[in-house]
Amino acid sequence: MAKRDYYEVLGVGRESGDQEIKAAYREMAKRYHPDRNPDDPAAEERFKEASEAYSVLSDSQKRSAYDRFGHAGVQGAAGGPQFNPDAFADFSDILGDFFGFGDLFGGGGRRSRSRGQRGDDVRYDLEISFEDAMFGMSAEIQVPRMERCDRCKGSGSEPGSGPSQCPTCHGHGQIVYQQSFLSIRRTCTTCNGSGQIIRNPCSECHGHGYRQVQRKLKVSIPAGVDDGNRLRLTGEGQPGTHGEPSGDLYVFLKVKEHAFFERQGNDLHCTIPINVAQAALGCEVDVPGIEGSQKLKIPEGTQNGAQFKLRHRGAPILNTNGRGDLYVHIDVKVPAKLTREQRKLLEQLRETLPVDNRPAEKGLFEKVKDYFM
Ligand SMILES: [Zn+2]
Ligand SMILES: [Zn+2]
């Protein structure tokens, strides 16, 4: 089959400028690209044809040779047109934004991607006491992680034996698949892209170059951390490969519950029981705080469910000097068992107290309900 004229292939005139040729090729490439036309040999043929035409017409030297001598002017020794893969670097610029691959054409100019990989992040769960969360602490933890093997200095090969070139990819780390004149690069699976294989594995690490060690780390936990908070230790995760950085270590905090403090945000809540007489007459109670107890005056006539706020007695607010508040909830206990004398006194009291057993106003009921929920 006779080769078609390159200008005809791209559908441009002989006097067309570079921009016009580029635009025409771009259109053809979009339409006939193999990724858009899988298993369509006709489209692939058109794509190849257009790419070949463009590789000649976009190069002023080749174009003038073609203009003067036709196909014979650009024929290589092998009979087909000479393709300098570097001339195709330009294609990736044209196609890259459509197809997202610059590597379709062999020898493309942009191979900056590193072969290495950043190390994995590691999670470590740490349970601390309520008090430690309040005051902050320094904890020593042991984290298993991979570290470079001392024996082989991370190479994976027995000392003195060095790795050898991967026979599959000849050290390139990539394999170029030649599909007619298209070449596609894939990472070599024999060596996983490193270009080297280990013939004589290190006896210590069995060729991994890394071994698992228990690493001791000091973790400084700031005052005010809460259950579920996590701390990040940059670079303390698994090591990266081929010079890439290590991952991070995340310490997930579990804060144990306190016997009587409940934390809500930065506020603390606790419930203090008092008896009926204390509620009616008023009293003074000891309120436990995270830094020791403190006296709280309960005024006479305090109702069940009353709450008192002790400002700045709550949890430290992380990374500030501030503190939340401490809420004291009053639980008035009615005696369940009475001695004979107590009963007598209460009966006397009953005679003197006003009796009003009409249903309470709804507002009051709502209040009581809130308290019990
Ligand atoms: Zn080793
Ligand atoms: Zn290889």
Q: Determine the distance separating the centroid of ligand 2 and the alpha carbon of 109, expressed in angstroms.
A: 21
pLDDT in tens, 125-175: 999 999 999 999 999 999 888 888 888 888 888 888 878 888 888 888 888
Cα 173 to averaged position of ligand 1 atoms, centre (Å): 22
- For ligand 2, the distance from its centroid to the CA atom of residue 175, given in whole angstroms, is 8
- Asked whether the predicted pLDDT for residue 82 surpasses 50, the reply is no
Given a cut of 70, whether residue 33 has pLDDT beyond it is yes
Q: What is the pLDDT of residue 371?
A: 56
pLDDT greater than 50 at residue 52: yes
Rounded-to-integer distance, Cα 5 and Cα 49, Å: 10
- d(C-alpha 255, C-alpha 231), whole Å: 13
Does residue 256 carry a pLDDT above 80? yes
- The pLDDT, as a whole number, for residue 120 is 87
* pLDDT cut 70: percent of the chain above it: 84
Among all ligands shown, which has an atom nearest to the Cα of 168?
A: 2
Q: For strand 164-165 and strand 196-197, is the pairing parallel, antiparallel, or unpaired?
A: antiparallel
Interval between CA 7 and ligand 1 midpoint (Å): 60
Q: Which ligand is nearest to the CA of 174?
A: 2
Is the pLDDT confidence value at 105 over 90? no
d(CA 201, ligand 1 centre) in Å:
7
* Distance between Cα 189 and ligand 1 center (Å): 22
Please give the distance, rounded to the nearest whole angstrom, from the Cα atom of residue 203 to the centre of ligand 1: 6
CA of 193 to the centre of ligand 1 (A): 20
The Cα-based distances of 294 to 221, 262, 287, 289, 297 in angstroms read 27, 18, 5, 7, 10
CA 164 / ligand 2 centre spacing (Å): 10
Tell me how far the alpha carbon of residue 141 lies from the centroid of ligand 1, in angstroms. Answer: 26
Q: Residue 15 Cα, ligand 2 centroid: separation in angstroms?
A: 47
Q: Flag whether pLDDT at 104 surpasses 60.
A: no
Residue in 243, 247, 244, 238 with CA at minimum distance from that of residue 144: 238
- State in Å: Cα 162 to ligand 1 middle: 11
Nearest ligand, measured from the Cα of 192: 2
First CA to last CA across the chain, in angstroms? 89
> Are 109 and 89 in contact, with CB atoms under 8 Å apart?
yes
| Ligand 2 centroid to residue 176 C-alpha, Å | 11
Which amino acid belongs to residue 289? G
Give me ligand 1 centre to Cα 358, in Å.
86
Residues 234 and 312: their CA atoms lie apart, in Å, by: 33
Backbone angles phi, psi at 7, to 5 degrees: -65, -35
Least-confidence region, from 175-179, 195-199, 305-309: 175-179
- What is the 168 CA–ligand 2 centroid distance (Å)? 5
Q: How many Å apart are CA 51 and CA 71, to the nearest integer?
A: 15
How many angstroms does the Cα of residue 187 sit away from the middle of ligand 2? 8
Alpha carbon of 159 to ligand 1 centroid (Å) = 8
Show the CA angle centred on residue 185, arms to residues 180 and 191, nearest 5°: 130
Q: Taking a C-beta distance cutoff of 8 angstroms, is the pair 221, 132 a contact?
A: yes
The yes-or-no verdict on residue 234 having pLDDT over 50 is yes
Tokens representing residue 86 in the block:
């570097």
Residue 260 has pLDDT above 70, yes or no: yes
Q: Given this model, what pLDDT does residue 311 score? A: 94
Residue 218 CA to ligand 1 centre (angstroms): 27
pLDDT range class, residue 8, cuts 50, 70, 90: very high
Q: Lowest-pLDDT range, 168-172, 219-223, 293-297?
A: 168-172
Q: pLDDT digit string (tens) for 307-345? A: 999 999 999 999 899 999 999 999 999 999 999 999 999
Question: 180: CA distance to ligand 2 center in Å?
Answer: 23
Query: Which ligand is nearest to the Cα of residue 208, counting in written order?
Result: 1
Ligand nearest to the CA of 169: 2
Write down the pLDDT at residue 230: 92
Burial 270-299 (b: 16+ CB within 10 A, else e): bebebeeebbeeebebeebebeeeeebebe
